[in-house]
Every structure is written in structure tokens, then in C-alpha cells.
Chains A and B, each alone.
Chain A
Amino acid sequence: MKNLFILFIITCLSLTSCTYNPINTKIVKGSFYDNIDKKTFLSRASHSFNLKENDFIVAATIFKVPQIVQCKIPLSGVDRILYIKIMENQLLNIDRHLIFGQEYLFDENEQELKILIDLPVIYLFKGTIKFHIDILALNSKGKYLKTIKKTIAFNWQPLENNSSNGFSYTKLSNSNIKEKRAIKKIVKEEIQNCDTDRLNKEYKKEIEVFIKQRQNRIRRNDYY
């Protein structure tokens, strides 16, 4: 009986120690826009390019994928960005909000918007992808809205390293690059992390056929 009582006490103590989880009761009232880690944000991009304020459509050539690209857009007379949406309605069927601090920042002093665009291989499987960007901004007086529309096209131009010192490159076509073993591995990983129901049916099928392609058809060269 005594043993059972001791066992009961030990059990209760064990369960209490395992489930106790104190709640932080402190109210944090911070300035939202000041709490963003700008250094981490900027370090994620491996390539950046500038748009002009009046540019409506721009095209950029990308040599290596996957990568995150930073687009710098000057926006004069803007006080605050209220939202940014990114859209693609041909292959990927993307229509979503970008997240402040992770995918865009607005530098009030430089009057420059910085947007990070993730470019996995599966976005550039046909060589070119075109994103539409919708921005709603508040002007400096804080009372008027400004809608800004941009279209950014990315053209993937793969390069192959043809020398041991890494300074000689050869341009490859998009179809040639798909013969590379490394690309197939990347595409396999990316597709597992993709909502494939959203993809254009033919585009999805093209990627699936590529993944199922027999290994011996793929050469062993590296790609750049």
C-alpha cells in the first residue's frame, strides 16, 4: 500500500514536470517596421538588378538557377508599402501576397523598394518566366494611394564551365541543360516542395516526363 502511494506520488511529479510550460505574459509593443533583420534579408539574394521607376516591363537574364534574385525599384514620394502581390498565370498559376521582411523591404531614405524573387529550376523549365507585380503604396502625405504595376521577365541562359580555372564558359540551350544529371536531382527535390495541382497541366506533365527520363540518357557534366 505504501509502495503504491509512493508510486502514485512519483507518477504525478513526473507528469507535472513533463507538461509544465510557463506562459510568457509580457506584452510586446514594438514598432513593426523596425524589427526586421535587413542584413539577413539582403544576404539571401545572390544577384540583383535595378529597375527604373517608369519601367513597366523589364527582362533579366539569369545564368544560374536555382537562385534568389533581388529587384530594386525606385519609388519616389512613397511613405509606406501596403501590399505587394506576385502573379503568374501561364505556367505556375501563382497569385499571392509577398511577406514584408522576408520577400520585400522598402527603404524610406533611399526611396527604394527591394523585392526578393525565388527562382527554382521548375519556374524556368521552359527558359522564360514572366511575373506581374502589383504594389499598393501610401504617398508621403499619408493620405493618398498609389498603385504600381510592373512586369518582370526572367530568361534563363545556362552556361557551362569548359576550363579547369573556371573562366571559360559556353552558352547552353535550355534543352541541353536538361541533359545534366545535377539538374534532374534539383528538379526532383523542388517538385516535392511544390503544389503541383497549381501548375499548368502540360507544363506539369513536361516536368514529370523529365523526372522519369532514364538515367543513362543524362550525361555526367556539371552545369553553371
Chain B
Amino acid sequence: MIFKIASNIIIFIILLFGICNISIAQDKNEKIQSISLGLSIYDEIDKKSIIEVKEKMLKNIIGYYKLNANIIILDNYRQLIDNIDNQAEVFVKKLIKNNKLDYLIYIRNRRNLDLWFDVWNKRGQIENIIIPYSSELVKFLPDIATNSFLSIIESMDNKLYNNKQY
């Protein structure tokens, strides 16, 4: 009787490890199917621009890469305006986790001196492109933002170019 129970337990454990290993293998080999972005802005950015950025980002990702994409527009987070510190990192990680995001993308206009295009990933890494501000830039903002965000996302995780579609 004891022998039978022991053998059943061993079989169960073997099966359990097998299932775990299969799920790990699937994770490693899984192709990237979708990309989830949270888009936010600093107050001084025109609200219409953010809609345009969203549309252009979606068009560029879904249309030209083997990826699905969804973008949610988030609130304006003042915690992210001034300093990139540990507090900001904790805040961003929580934000990314709660909204099930892959990236938080953020446009900041710093007192009309420069424009910051920030990208945070799930690992709490941040990369940005900073451009000197000029009034001329405003009408090109959606395209500049789209190009900056796509380029940063690619440089961080190589998710786009490897999934390119003709």
C-alpha cells in the first residue's frame, strides 16, 4: 500500500515538472504577438496631438510589423515630470503592471525649452530622446513622437525590426 502511494506521488511529481518545463519552453519560444502601450503627456502638450500620436503609432506597428498593438491613453502623471528617480521607477512599474502594459510612453514639454520623448519598459528601464523646443515643431509633433517612440522601443528590446512585414 505504502509502495503504491509512493509510486503515485513520484509519478505525480514527474508529471508536474513536465508540465512546468513545457510551459517554460513555450514562453521561451513564443513569438511576440502583441505590444501594449500606455501613452501619457504633460499638460502643455496639445490634447489633439496625443490622439494623432496614438493613431500613427497603431498604423505603423500593426500595418508594417507582425504584431498586434493596443494603446491606452493614461492620465497626466506629475510624478514623472521632474526627476527620474527610484520613486518614479516604483510608480512606473506599478502603472505598467496595473494596466498590463509592455511600455509606458510619455511626452514632456519642459517649459518650452525642450521636448522629451520617454519610453519606460517593464524592467524599469528608461530611454529618451530630447529635442530643443521651437514653435515650428508643434505641427510635426505626432510624426516626431511616432518616430522617436518606435526607434526607442526597437533599441530597447528589438521587438519591431525582427517582426517586419514587407
- Chain A residues with Cβ below 8 Å from B86 are 27
- Chain A residues with Cβ below 8 Å from B136 are 144-145
**A35 and B144 form a contact (CB under 8 A):** no
- Taking the closest CB of chain A, its distance from the CB of B162, in whole angstroms, is 9
CB-contacts of A105-157 with B (<8 A): 118, 120, 122-123, 136, 138, 142-145
Task: Choose one: A11, A29, A198; the contact of B84 (CB below 8 Å).
Answer: A29
- Taking the closest CB of chain A, its distance from the CB of B111, in whole angstroms, is 16
A203 at the interface (CB under 8 A from B): no
Can you offer 27 A-B residue contacts whose CB atoms are under 8 A?
A: A7-B9, A7-B12, A14-B13, A15-B20, A18-B23, A23-B122, A24-B123, A27-B84, A27-B89, A28-B125, A29-B84, A29-B126, A36-B155, A82-B140, A83-B140, A96-B60, A96-B63, A99-B161, A100-B155, A102-B160, A120-B166, A143-B132, A144-B136, A145-B137, A193-B166, A194-B165, A198-B63
Interface size on B, residues (CB 8 A): 49
- Chain A residues with Cβ below 8 Å from B144 are 82-83, 136
**B124 and A136 form a contact (CB under 8 A):** no
**B123 and A23 form a contact (CB under 8 A):** yes
- Chain B residues with Cβ below 8 Å from A84 are 147
A26-B13 CB under 8 A given contacts A82-B147, A193-B166: no
A30 at the interface (CB under 8 A from B): yes
Interface size on A, residues (CB 8 A): 49
A195 at the interface (CB under 8 A from B): yes
**A11 and B16 form a contact (CB under 8 A):** yes
- Taking the closest CB of chain B, its distance from the CB of A4, in whole angstroms, is 9
**A195 and B151 form a contact (CB under 8 A):** no
